Amino acid sequence: MVFKFLRGEGRERLESIEDRVQTMLRHDRHEFDLAMSALLGDAAAADVREELRSTDREVNQLEREIRRQLVVHASVFGGIDSPSVLVYMSIVKDIERVGDYAKNILDLARDGASFAEVPDADEWRRLARDISQYITDAGVAFHARDSERSHQLRRRGDALLRLFDEGVSSLIRQKDPGPQAVARALASRYLKRVVAHLMNVLSAVIMPLDQLDYFDEDPEDRGGA
Mean pLDDT over the full length of the chain:
86
The mean pLDDT of 96-115, rounded to a whole number, is 97
pTM for the predicted model, two decimal places: 0.86
Domain of residue 40 covers 13-217
The mean pLDDT of 106-118, rounded to a whole number, is 96
Does any domain span residue 2? no
Q: Are 199 and 219 in contact (CB under 8 A)?
A: no
What pLDDT does 217 receive?
Answer: 55
pLDDT band, very low/low/confident/very high, at 172 (cuts 50, 70, 90)? confident
Q: Are 36 and 106 in contact (CB under 8 A)?
A: no
Altogether, the residues listed in the chain come to a count of 225
Exposure b/e, 195-223, CB count within 10 A at least 16 = b: bbbbbbbbbbbbbebeebbbbbeeeeeee
Does any domain span residue 210? yes
pLDDT band, very low/low/confident/very high, at 63 (cuts 50, 70, 90)? very high
The mean pLDDT of 137-163, rounded to a whole number, is 95
What pLDDT does 7 receive?
Answer: 41
Over the stretch 11-50, which tens digit does the pLDDT of each residue have?
554 678 889 999 999 999 999 999 999 999 999 999 999 9
Does any domain span residue 225? no
Q: Are 137 and 153 in contact (CB under 8 A)?
A: yes
Does any domain span residue 141? yes
What pLDDT does 81 receive?
Answer: 56
DSSP letter, residue 175 = -
Does any domain span residue 87? yes
CB atoms within 10 A of CB 64: 11
pLDDT of residue 5 exceeding 50: no
pLDDT of residue 132 exceeding 80: yes
Does any domain span residue 8? no
58 vs 203 pLDDT, higher one: 58
The mean pLDDT of 56-70, rounded to a whole number, is 94
What pLDDT does 210 receive?
Answer: 54
Does any domain span residue 165? yes
Does any domain span residue 64? yes
pLDDT of residue 6 exceeding 50: no
User: How many domains, the chain?
Assistant: 1
pLDDT of residue 1 exceeding 50: no
CA distance 113 to 218: 28
Nearest CA to 25 among 55, 47, 48? Answer: 55
What pLDDT does 10 receive?
Answer: 30
Give the CATH number for residue 196: 1.20.58.220
Q: Which long-range contacts (CB under 8 A, 24 or more apart) does 14-18 make?
A: 14/69, 14/73, 14/81, 14/84, 14/88, 16/69, 17/66, 17/69, 17/70, 17/73, 17/88, 18/143
Q: Are 16 and 66 in contact (CB under 8 A)?
A: no
What pLDDT does 187 receive?
Answer: 97
